[in-house]
Chain A
C-alpha cells in the first residue's frame, strides 16, 4: 500500500538547490537520492505503508546534522527522523517531498559513569547495546522492548517505549535523565540534567513519546540500574483466557509488583511452541509468565506468593523455571512470538491498545467474537500486567480486501479500548497508523491544544508533518466515514 499521507510535491527548483546545499554538507555516500538507494528506507516496521523519501541524509556528527536541519528549514522542506526503523506505527514513514534524516551513524556510547550509574549515548545506539556495554559493572538499562536487539535509543525516546519489565521498572520516560535535542531551526538545546529534576517545565517528559514531532534527539543520558541478584520465573497455565485475566488482577491485589507479567493465548502458545520448542503446555487456553526479582530471599518469597495466587485462581498447572536456562527458554517463546506468527501467516498486524486490567476478560472475549465475524485469526501475546494488549491479526496482503478488513477490525478493537477507559496506544505510538483513532480518543479542543503545543516548537510544521496528531479536517472526514459505515466497501460484513 502507498502512503496514506498526501504531500504536495516540491518545486523542482527548490529541490535542486536543496540537493546542492546538502551535497555541500554530506559526503556522497551519506546523501541518497536514487530510487534504488532510497527504497530500503521506504517503510518502518509497519510495512503496509510505503513511501520513497525524496532524499535520505545520513549525517555523521552533530555539526553536519545541524547544518542539514538548518538547510531544510531554510528551504521549508519537511524532515522525518529515523532511528532503526523498527517502529510499528509508521512514525518513520518518509515523505515524498521531504528529507529522511537517518540517525544510524550516531551509534557511539559516549561515556559510562559507573559511579553515577548513567550512560551517555548517541541516539542510534541499539537499546540492547547499552545493557551489554555496562554488564561488566553489574548494571543494565531497564526498558527492554522485544525489538531491543535492533531498535535505537533515539527511537525509544521518541516512542516512550516499554518492555516486558516496565511494570516494575517503568517506561523510557522513567529511565532517562537528559537529552540533547536539535530544534527545527537547528539550535542545540539540553533538556533535563544528571540531577533528578530541572528548572522550568518538564520538557524531558514532553519530548519522550513525541514521535519526532518536536525536535531531533542527538544525545541521551540514561539511568542504569544494578542487576537483580536473583530472578525467578513462574509459568502458570489456565483453561480459559478469562481465568488468566482474573489471576493477573489477583497477583496485583496480593500486593505483588512482578518484574514482568505477560499473557499468551492458546493460538500464540501453539504457534511459538512449534517455532521455538520452549516446553509450553500446548493444551492450555492461556498461560501467564510472571517474573519476580530482587535479592535471593525476596525473590524466593515472592515465588511462593505468586504460586499460591495462581493456584487460587485455578491455574491448571504452575511451573517454576528450574534454572537460568529454563527461565531463558520460557522467555524465548514470548520473545519469539512475533516471528512465530510471521511463519504461519503471510502478514500480521499488531495492535497496541491499553485497557484497565479489569476489562481484560471482556475485551478478549469481544475480540474472539469479532475474529469470527471478520474471518481473521487473532493471536494474543501481551503485557498483561499493565493491560497493554498486543492482539496480532493474521492476514494476507495479497488477498484483495484483507488488509482493509484487517484495518477495520483493528479500528474496532481500538474503539473498544477507548470505550472501556483505555487508550489506542500503550507504547507503539500513533504515527500514521492510528491517526484516525486519535479523533475518537480526543475532542477537537484537545487536538487543537496538541497542535498549539507542536507550533511552540515547530511553527511551520516541518518535523514529521502529518503524524501523531490528526488535523481537524482529517477528523471531520474520518467522522464522516464512521457515519457511512454501512456503505463502506465490505457489505459482506453486515451479514454477520
Chain B
C-alpha cells in the first residue's frame, strides 16, 4: 500500500515541461495488446501506486489505487462475498485495475452483467499537463460534469495516467452452473441469442469446437429452474471453461498466428477465413488468421462491428479498427484536450 500521486504528477509535469513523451505501465500484463510504443520513452510506472483506499460492502463500492492488482481486489471482495461482476482477467496476478480500465477488458459475462466501463463510478487521473484530477465519485448515480471517468475505459492511457478507480461491486451469486450442448455453429448462434429472450440468469455463453457452454449465475432456485428449462449436460468442472476464456489461456490462444478480436452485433456471422472461438453469446469472435488486415476489418465492418488485432501480427501498423475521418478528427480533438503535447502513450491507440 503506497501512494505515488505526488511523484507521478511531478513526473508528468516535468515531461510536459520538457515536451518529452512517456509510456505508462501497470503490471505489464497487457503489453501485447497495445500498438507498439517506443521502448526508449521514459517509463511511468504505476505498479507501485497500490492499495484499497475505501471499501464499504454495504455501499457496493470499492476504491483502489491504479496499481492494485485485480487479484488483490478479488481477494478483498471475496472476504465479504462480493466480486467484480465484469470478471476481468487476472493474468497471473499481474493485471492491475488501472491497466484493466485503460484497456477496457471485461470477462465472458460482459453481455449479461456489463463491462468495466459499466461498473466504473469514478476515476482520478493525471492529465498530460500533470494536473491531478478527480471525476465521478463513489456513488451509484452521478451526472455532475462530463463522464470523464468512463471515458478512460479503453483509451489506452492516451487521455491521462489513471491513478485511482472507484467501482461498483456486487454480491457473489449464490450458485453457478455450466451447461454443455453439442450443436453446429449456426444453431449455436441462434441458441445463444435466444438465451436473452427470457429473464434467465445467464452469465456466459460461448461456442467452442462444436459445443455451446452456458453459464448460469444466481440464486439457488433461479439456477436450478433455469438448468431444468435449458437442459443440456451439467459440467462438473465448468468454471475451467470460463477461466480459460477470461485469461486467454484456452488452447486457441496458443498460436504463432495473429489473434483477432471481432466485436459484433447479436447473431452476426462474418465471412472469415481462419479458426474461430465465439464468446459473449455470439458478440465476441476470436479469430486466428494471417489473412490481410483489410480483409478482416472489412468482414467485421460488413457484419456491423469492428476488428482489433488483439495479439501478435504487426503491432506498429493498424491494431484498432480505423475510424472515419470525422471521428478521427474528433478523437484527436478529445485527446488534445487532455494531453495538448501528445506525451501520454503516443501511438498506443492510433498512430500519433
Contacts and interface: CB of A to CB of B under 8 A. Distances in A.
Interface of A: 115-117, 138, 159-160, 162, 166-167, 170-171, 173-174, 183, 187, 189, 193-203, 205-206, 208-210, 213-214, 225-229, 249, 252-253, 255-257, 293-295, 297-298, 301-302, 354-358, 383, 386-388, 421-430, 434, 438, 441-443, 445-446, 448-450, 452-457, 468-469
Given A117-B266, A171-B141, A426-B139, A201 B155 contact: yes
B104 interface: yes
Interface in B296-352: 304-306, 308, 320-324, 326-327, 330-331, 333-338, 349-350
A354 B146 contact: no
A297 B330 CA distance: 49
Given A195-B305, A200-B327, A438 B225 contact: no
A202 B111 contact: no
Interface of B: 56-61, 81, 104, 110-111, 114-115, 117-118, 127, 131-135, 137-148, 150-151, 153-155, 159, 170-172, 174, 193, 196-201, 218-222, 224-226, 263-267, 280, 283-284, 304-306, 308, 320-324, 326-327, 330-331, 333-338, 349-350
A86 B138 CA distance: 28
B144 A203 contact: no
A356 B56 contact: yes
A424 B117 CA distance: 22
A423 B144 contact: yes
Contact of B326 (A187, A228, A253, A356): A187
A438 B330 contact: no
Nearest to B196: A117
Which 8 pairs show the lowest CB-CB distances between chains A and B?
A255-B171, A426-B141, A456-B333, A205-B150, A194-B265, A386-B140, A452-B337, A199-B321
Given A356-B56, A453-B337, 6 more contacts: A199-B322, A387-B141, A442-B145, A446-B135, A450-B145, A453-B148
A435 B144 CA distance: 9
Nearest to A225: B199
Contacts of A354: 139-142
A426 B144 CA distance: 8
Contacts of A294: 199, 201, 218-219, 222
B58 A357 contact: yes
A256 B234 CA distance: 26
B199 A227 contact: yes
Contacts of A195: 263-265, 283, 304-306
B198 A358 contact: no
B330 A203 contact: yes
A430 B321 contact: no
Contacts of A214: 146
A274 B304 CA distance: 53
Nearest to B328: A200
Contact of A456 (B171, B172, B193, B334): B334
A200 B127 CA distance: 18
A255 B58 contact: no
Contacts of B308: 199
A209 B146 contact: yes
A456 B328 CA distance: 12
A115 B141 contact: no
Contact of B118 (A115, A170, A198, A450): A170
Given A356-B61, A456-B333, A449 B127 contact: yes
Given A249-B58, A255-B81, A388-B140, A446 B145 contact: yes
Contacts of B349: 200
Given A116-B266, A446-B134, A446-B135, A201 B141 contact: no
Residue in B146, B193, B218 whose Cβ sees the most chain A Cβ within 10 Å: B146
A206 B114 contact: no
A47 to B, nearest CB: 21
A439 to B, nearest CB: 11
A193 B337 contact: no
Contacts of B60: 252
Given A198-B306, A252-B58, A430 B280 contact: no
Contacts of B111: 196
Given A200-B327, A452-B337, A456-B330, A358 B58 contact: yes
Nearest to B159: A201
Contacts of A210: 146-147
B97 to A, nearest CB: 17
28 contacts: A115-B267, A183-B330, A189-B330, A193-B265, A194-B266, A196-B111, A197-B115, A201-B151, A203-B334, A206-B147, A227-B199, A297-B221, A297-B224, A297-B225, A298-B219, A356-B138, A358-B58, A386-B141, A388-B141, A423-B143, A423-B144, A426-B139, A429-B143, A430-B145, A449-B148, A450-B146, A453-B334, A456-B334
A421 B144 CA distance: 13
A189 B327 CA distance: 7
Nearest to A227: B199
Contacts of B150: 173, 202, 205-206
A464 B57 CA distance: 40
A295 B146 contact: no
A455 B134 CA distance: 20
A116 B189 CA distance: 12
Contacts of A116: 193, 265-267
A115 B221 contact: no
A298 B283 CA distance: 28
Contact of B139 (A173, A209, A355, A454): A355
